[in-house]
Amino acid sequence: MTVLERLARELGDIVDTSAGVLEAARADRSGHRSPGAPLAVVHARSVDDVQTVMRIASATGTPVVTRGAGTGLAGAANAGPGEIVLSTARMDRVLEVSADDLLAVVEPGILNADLNAQLAAHGLWWAPDPASREISTVGGNIATGAGGLLCAKYGVVRDAVLGVDIVLADGRMLRLGHRTVKGVTGLDLTSLVIGSEGRLGIIVGATLKLRRLVEGAVCTIVASFPTVRAAAAGSAAVTAAGVQPAIMELMDAASLSAVHALLRLPAPTPGTSQLTIQTDGPAARDEAEHIAAVLEAAGGVVTVSDDPAEGERLLAVRRSMHPAMASLGTTLIEDVAVPRSAMAAMFDEIARIEREFGVRIPTVAHAGDGNLHPNFVFEGETVPPHIWAAADELFRAAIRLGGTLTGEHGVGLLKSRWLAEELGDDQWHIQQQILRVFDPQGILNPGKVFPDA
């Protein structure tokens, strides 16, 4: 009996082999596509379905790629020939909300924005805020370590997860973590799973750490600077002033111009870069005034608004970055992070790489935490060699400045060739040994993150 026959016999009509569904599973939002279609997509509805798939896969040695909404930017959920796609998108329930304990228990397929819409009725919210929040799943956020605009003040996904439930490669289920605020029993396997990109197990549930909705005003500050280096220096001045904005986003001249063109806004003055900052809470207005004064002293032209609708309109410019880049051509969307004090130097490096390789690299940054998103724009569907060479130089520049290959998108397929250089030989081998403990056959998302694992 073939793998497909076993899946169909035990799982029935949730096993999907329609051409359109298989084709869609070959790609995510990275612009990359696997060399061929997978065997099937299994639309899991329950933990039992996931365990059944993994028992069949383990018995037959069949690779499995876990997939949520397919919004990733590193190729980690792309599935190819001979692989089963295990979709958890239909497992989308909120199982429990505890306002007293500030936690929620959810299934992995719920969308980030949908979760927060439900939590708002309880006066609560989940802080991770990726730009893809309307379309990305909580399980995917956890699997990739997704970040977003609010990380500088409210932390990353790892700071907002108390526990995860995972199904291992052989079908066993583990419940990791705690419902308590504190918990240091044994090794912290929850943190190990967060950001593991489907290599250690399939996330089938999560216990999330919530916050109460922030009371008080939200103020939005927009500051224009004549150069991107000046804007980066302005953001560093805000950090040095000891004020903690909820959001601090930087757009260089190329990205700002592209978004203005997409949204049909008046073209900015050539060379202009922009900081968009929000403060929240009872002290929001005082903090906004302080930040405005710091930015003006740094040479920025500053406007401040405490109108919520106007604030969302201003922030929409930053949130429109991805469609604006798509309008310029095919885009390799990258993700590096450097110490906040090295932001200006990293923008200098990006400008150097543009000159040396003859490429356009419009860049936005979560300036509050030093996470930059350089976008390599080119024509055609395949990344040309000179783009990869420019990306190679970009990653090495980030590492030289004390940074890292990825702050929130993950490694996936796109960055696996550079991983060993950042980790070093000893850590590279230890991490691969950990993979083999969780998945001795190597059937979970093979080829992703560690190409030779």
pLDDT tier, 359 (very low <50, low <70, confident <90, very high otherwise): very high
Give the angle 30-453-421 at the CA atoms, nearest 5°: 70
Q: Residues 217-400: name the CATH superfamily.
A: FAD-linked oxidases, C-terminal domain (3.40.462.10)
- The pLDDT value recorded for residue 451 is 80
Q: What percent of the chain has pLDDT over 70?
A: 100
Residue 179: both structure tokens together = 């419902």
For residues 283 and 146, give the distance between their C-alpha atoms in angstroms, rounded to a whole number.
28
Query: Would you say 160 and 126 are in contact if contact means Cβ atoms under 8 Å apart?
Result: yes
> Which residues make Cβ contacts (< 8 Å) with residue 152, sequence separation at least 6?
244, 245, 246, 247, 248, 366, 368, 369
Which residue shows structure tokens 């969307």? 333
Q: Burial, 191: exposed, middle or buried (Cβ in 10 Å; 0-12, 13-18, 19+)?
A: middle
pLDDT, mean of residues 439-445: 97
Cβ neighbours around 296 below 10 Å, total: 13
Please give the mean pLDDT across all residues of the chain.
94
Which range (76-90, 141-155, 164-178, 207-221) has the least confidence? 141-155
- The pLDDT value recorded for residue 453 is 43
Reported as half-sphere exposure (CB side, CA atoms, 13 A), residue 411 has a value of: 24
pLDDT at 220 over 80: yes
For residues 230 and 424, give the distance between their C-alpha atoms in angstroms, rounded to a whole number.
34
pLDDT at 226 over 50: yes
- The pLDDT value recorded for residue 252 is 97
pLDDT, mean of residues 95-123: 97
Amino acid at 432: Q
Query: Would you say 288 and 304 are in contact if contact means Cβ atoms under 8 Å apart?
Result: yes
3-state secondary structure labels for all residues of 42-89: EECCCHHHHHHHHHHHHHHCCCEEEECCCCCCCCCCCCCCCCEEEECC
Query: Would you say 314 and 220 are in contact if contact means Cβ atoms under 8 Å apart?
Result: yes
DSSP state of 202: E
Q: Report how far apart the first and last C-alpha atoms of the chain are (Å, whole number).
A: 29
Amino acid at 235: S
Q: Helix 228-240 vs helix 284-297: angle between axes, to the nearest 10 degrees?
A: 130
Which range (15-24, 182-191, 409-418) has the least confidence? 409-418
pLDDT at 160 over 90: yes
Query: Would you say 129 and 199 are in contact if contact means Cβ atoms under 8 Å apart?
Result: no
Amino acid at 120: A
- The pLDDT value recorded for residue 360 is 92
The class of domain 94-212 in CATH terms is: alpha beta
Which residue shows structure tokens 């967060």? 194
For residues 330 and 352, give the distance between their C-alpha atoms in angstroms, rounded to a whole number.
22
Which tens digits make up the pLDDT trace of 37-51? 999 999 999 999 999
Residue 391: both structure tokens together = 């990306």
- The pLDDT value recorded for residue 413 is 87
pLDDT at 452 over 70: no
CATH topology of domain 3-87: 3.30.43
Q: Residue 103 belongs to what H/E stretch? A: strand 103-106
Query: Would you say 74 and 95 are in contact if contact means Cβ atoms under 8 Å apart?
Result: no
Which tens digits make up the pLDDT trace of 229-253? 999 999 999 999 999 999 999 999 9
Which residue shows structure tokens 């497909």? 4
pLDDT tier, 109 (very low <50, low <70, confident <90, very high otherwise): very high
Which residue shows structure tokens 């084709």? 23
Query: Would you say 16 and 41 are in contact if contact means Cβ atoms under 8 Å apart?
Result: yes
Residue 110: both structure tokens together = 């719920």
Question: pTM score, two decimals?
Answer: 0.93
